[in-house]
Amino acid sequence: MDGTSDTEHDPTGLFGRPLFNDPQARALSRVGVVDIGSNSVRLVVFDGAARSPAYFYNEKLMCALGAGMSDTGRLNPEGRSRALQALKRFQALAEGMDLPPLTVVATAAVREAEDGAEFREDVLRETGLRIWVIDGEEEARLSAQGVMLGWPGSYGLVCDIGGSSMELAEIAKGRVGKRISSNLGPLKLRDLKGGHKGRDAHIKAVMAKLADHMGPQRDRLFLVGGSWRAIARIDMHRRGYPLHVLHEYRMDKKAVSQTVKYIKSSDLEELRAACGVSSARMDLVPYAVDVLKRLVQTFKPKDIAISSYGIREGLLYEQMPQDLRDRDPLIEACRFAEAKDARLPGFGNKLFRFVLPLFSGADAARMRLIKAACLLHDVSWRAHPDYRAETCFDNATRANLGGLKHSERVFLGLALLHRYKNKREGTRFEELEGLLSEKATLEAEVLGKALRFGAMLWMSDASADGTVLEWRPRKKLLRLKLTRGSVALYGEVAEARFLSLAASLEAETEVVVQR
């Protein structure tokens, strides 16, 4: 690894030194969490050392523990049996992975059922797993922490919908504020008497009480939970949206209204098949969509974001030291990837310093993408050369990375595509180019070609340190200052890449050898 510190190669001072090798961070490797919800039971094993959670293992079983509870007051017998079998399997998997003890949480169904305590005893006796039953406010807090894991510095209203309950929590300045739980889960609404009119009146009345408690919430609305994600999939399908990544997918009030109408006018089985939603989940969508419609009408958020991070990620966040919480999840994940997969770990820092003159006016949001691209520029070197550019693009646009809007995913993917390829025609970028402005597309191309050129100068010879790019946009002049030690590296291929970069900038070139 490059022996110098990260900050020596970060003139911006934005990112600090890497933390993933610190003992407190390494303790988060292989953290196992089980979430026993009213509708599903899920095991997630995180590698959380890099701040952006890597899903080492993820398995879910739809059990519908809370189905019929409104009538019986007890857990669904079939769901209870299925949940117990799932937990036996999860414990066996944890032992096979040599994990530390699993953290197991249960929410509304187990919390409210007459036989909830009996179920917990059965689980403890047969698996050795102790279930932590959390109340509604704690569920809201953990879900909000999950959102903060993916969006550091985020603010707004988090709404987590499960099978039997729906929680709200406000977040701002890295803290969870007011929070409240309600009975607006779709399993409970399905069992409600009075048909559609009775259900709608109930939702309206409960939502009014929630609004009184939470007060005005006009910022971003973060939607957490499987029913919200199913609705987002349907919204994507309705719009013909090209990037099928749910995390950070955005909607607005108009889109919600249109999708509500679309769902109510569609054949649900055909819609389910077209959108890849499970039958068990699709059964709950008509009830969840009524809640979403009223939620948006009541709180009037400025925009709406889907979060794939929720209570399970909140439990990981709970275990993070504060200095790791404060870090940018994108940058920390990219540092981790470089250290693990790049041929010359640490070289991304030098590359960042090298390309910075091309982006002197970039704001902090753009700077973090430039840094990320430099760190990731070489992590896909094992891919076949014919597919390397596409592999880079796919990894950036579809990987589980936190803190990335969809347009930013495409920007990062395009920059890495151009790291290995001059032309983007005929690539998968063409399917997604509508998500990126013309200006941003050019910036990504320039960044990628700068990475492609810079990698030629330093890949095999540390004596090239001191080689500098100078960009004078008014004169449209791109100047390369070579050291005596780097002249030999500036061969025909390197020169061709330098000229390709200049062509993207519509610039004249000048090459100077420093004395």
Mean pLDDT of 464-474: 85
pLDDT given at position 174: 87
Consecutive H or E run containing 368? helix 364-376
Give the span between the Cα atoms of 217 and 195, in whole angstroms. Answer: 30
User: At 210, which helix (H) or strand (E)?
Assistant: helix 195-214
- The three-state secondary structure class of 287 is helix
Q: How far apart are CA 257 and CA 296, in angstroms?
A: 9
Q: How many residues does the chain have?
A: 515
Query: At 465, phi and psi to the nearest 5?
Result: -55, 135
How many whole angstroms separate alpha carbon 162 and alpha carbon 168?
A: 12
- Looking at the fold, whether 468 and 359 belong to one and the same domain comes out as yes
- Are 373 and 498 part of one and the same domain? yes
Q: Give yes or no: residues 154 and 293 share one domain.
A: yes
pLDDT tens figures, 487-505? 888 999 999 999 999 999 9
Query: Could you say which of 133, 159, 180 is where a domain stops?
Result: 133
How far is Cα 83 from Cα 126, in angstroms, rounded to an integer?
Answer: 12
pLDDT for the residue 323: 81
Would you say residue 320 lies in a domain?
no
Question: Do residue 339 and residue 462 come from a single domain?
Answer: yes
CATH of residue 71: 3.30.420.40
Token representation of residue 28: 């988060």
Residue 105: predicted pLDDT: 95
Q: Which helix (H) or strand (E) holds 54?
A: strand 54-62
- Between CA 510 and CA 5 the distance in angstroms is 32
Q: Which of 263, 281, 310 is the last residue of a domain?
A: 310
502 lies in a domain?
Answer: yes
Owning domain of residue 122: 23-133
Average pLDDT, the chain: 90
**What is the spatial distance between Cα 439 and Cα 445, in angstroms, rounded to a whole number?**
10
76-97 average pLDDT score: 96
The tally of domains found in the chain comes to 3
| pLDDT above 60: residue 9 | no
Helix then strand count (H, E) for the chain reads: 23, 14
Q: Does residue 462 register a pLDDT over 50?
A: no
Q: Is residue 16 part of a domain?
A: no
Q: Taking each helix axis from N to C terminus, what angle separates 364-376 and 329-341, rounded to the nearest 10 degrees? A: 10
**Encoded tokens for 396:** 């950036």
Q: Which has the minimum average pLDDT: 75-84, 314-323, 363-372?
A: 314-323
Tell me the C-alpha to C-alpha distance, in Å, between residue 292 and each of 109, 205, 448: 21, 14, 41
For the cut 70, the answer to whether the pLDDT of residue 156 exceeds it is: yes
Per-residue confidence band for 8, with pLDDT thresholds at 50, 70 and 90: very low
Same-domain check for residues 264 and 197: yes
Nearest to 157 by CA among 326, 306, 325, 301: 301
CB 458 within 8 A of CB 465: yes
Tens of pLDDT, residues 358-401: 999 899 999 999 999 999 999 999 999 999 999 999 999 988 77
pLDDT class of 14 with cuts at 50, 70, 90: low
Position 13 pLDDT exceeds 90: no
Q: Are residues 473 and 352 in the same domain?
A: yes
